[in-house]
Amino acid sequence: MSLEELTSKYIASAEKVLKELKLTKCPVSVTENQIEDVLGYVRNYLEDAKYYRVQKKLETSLTSIAYCEGLLDALRLMGVVKFGWPTNTERKK
């Protein structure tokens, strides 16, 4: 699958979800186990990104790390984890 096809597939999926999703009644409580489940996905996407980078499948690697970062940002925005993304200076160390 080409990068253009892959991108189009993910965009179409996201558009479909946004059209069909329904908000749940708030407040919703989130358990530690549920947070750990999501962190499991984060770790899996990170490992996938590293694996595909070694395999020189960089488009797939980039997609995997983008999912990883998206989940981390969602957890942070929900206020269930605290962290800051490294600055350019910190990454160069």
List the domain boundaries for the chain: 31-83
Query: Global pTM?
Result: 0.83
The model's pLDDT over 9-31, given as tens digits with 9 standing for 90+, comes to 989 999 999 999 998 888 889 99
pLDDT at 87: 87
SS3 string of the chain? CCHHHHHHHHHHHHHHHHHHCCCCCCCCCCCHHHHHHHHHHHHHHHHHHHHHHHCCCHHHHHHHHHHHHHHHHHHHHCCCCCCCCCCHHHHHC
The model's pLDDT over 30-65, given as tens digits with 9 standing for 90+, comes to 999 999 999 999 999 999 999 999 999 999 999 999
